[in-house]
Amino acid sequence: MDVSRVSACTYDLRKKELEYTLHVIAGSDFKKVDLWGGMPHFSINESEYDVDRLIELTDTYGLQIANIGTYCGRKFSSDSDDEVKQEIKDTKKTIDIAHRLGSRSIRIVPGSGEREVIDTIVP
């Protein structure tokens, strides 16, 4: 098996600090990380999280963030225009951070996840 194509998800270590988690993943010979989108592993809120520190840690451990699992998009189907606008901003911010990290994907949720909201959220 070509392990270089596989990423290890940080979710199982979600209660551990990020550096410890990356140390464990690197020690298991993985090179790519599927970053759980919750603290202490990740947040788009600059007051809670330092993306530069994440970059420093991935460089230290020889890892690449392949995916960010923020599950943004939950409020795309909200009845509140303000909530939808904020969710769009947060999703764009997540995409920008993923691009900065060299990540090829982010994990999203299409609104409530119900099929009937797709026509509402696509525009």
| DSSP per-residue letters across 23-38 | HHHHHTT--EEEEESS
Model confidence at 37: pLDDT above 90: yes
Predicted local distance difference test score (pLDDT) of residue 1: 65
List, for residues 54-95, the tens digit of each pLDDT value.
999 999 999 999 999 999 999 999 999 999 999 999 999 999
As a whole number, mean pLDDT of residues 2-31 equals: 93
Predicted local distance difference test score (pLDDT) of residue 113: 78
Residue 112 CB contacts under 8 Å (≥ 6 apart), including other chains: 74, 77
Question: Could you tell me which residue, 86 or 112, shows the higher pLDDT?
Answer: 86
Amino acid at 74: R
As a whole number, mean pLDDT of residues 25-53 equals: 95
Asked if residue 48 lies in contact with residue 70, where contact means CB atoms within 8 angstroms, the answer is no
Query: Residues in the chain, how many?
Result: 123
Model confidence at 120: pLDDT above 70: yes
Please indicate, yes or no, whether the overall pTM of this predicted structure exceeds 0.85: yes
